[in-house]
Amino acid sequence: MLEGVRLLYSVHWDFQRVEQRTPLINLNEVAVAKSADKMVVLEVDTVDKIFNSFDSNPFSELATAALGEAALERVVTRLQFQPLQDWDNAQLVVRLPADQVTPDLQQRLSVAIDRYCEARIEENDLQVKLGRRQHAIGMIAVTVLVLAVMAIAYLLFTTVWAGAGQTVEYLVAASISVFAWVILWDPLEALVFDWAPPARENRALGHIMDMDVVVQSRS
């Protein structure tokens, strides 16, 4: 019996066997078992489908082929919503047709996966830095604009609209408040929250890099 924590990406997986193993819980092709061995199992037709997306084929028995999704991308997505401490010392098992497996494939694939993850992490870090800079500039520009509008309104109320009354003052003040919130909301939200998805993805990528890659033949 294959023990451990497993992410399975082929609908070849026998769900009857999953149900018979009481420690296993099946959720959207993610089978989780609590034991010492942990595995992320990928079943693909060719090595390039580990990294590259392709045309979807709903008639395929492989989930990644049905969705036209790169297998490793599917792993990254699934791991982002898993407790990552459960994946310490896990293995990344790649199952390929026998004619695709060569003696040096495991070593080359391990290097390629590490290189891919490192590049993704570097790109995510760069995007976060660029985003923070852009959003900070946007916040400064928007703040200056709001202050300018408030200053103009104050000048108008002390000169042209000096006798306008409290109702007009209230309406103008409320309008400026709404205007300020509307234009400040997007840059403020981006500055505070936009870093989270790349950071979550980087943690998943880091865990994949820590996994031992194992190549297996499948019939």
Residue 216 has phi, psi (to 5 degrees) of -130, 150
Using alpha carbons, select from 52, 74, 51 the residue that is nearest to residue 204. Answer: 74
Using alpha carbons, select from 5, 65, 53 the residue that is nearest to residue 30. Answer: 5
Neighbours of 152 (CB within 10 A): 11
Q: What is the DSSP letter of 29?
A: T
Please give the Cα distance from 169 to 167 (Å, whole number).
Answer: 5
Using alpha carbons, select from 29, 46, 51, 56 the residue that is nearest to residue 97. Answer: 46
Whether this prediction's pTM lies above 0.85 is answered by no
pLDDT (tens digit per residue) in 171-218? 888 888 888 888 888 888 887 888 889 999 999 999 999 999 999 987
pLDDT (tens digit per residue) in 89-135? 888 999 899 888 898 999 999 999 999 999 999 999 999 998 888 88
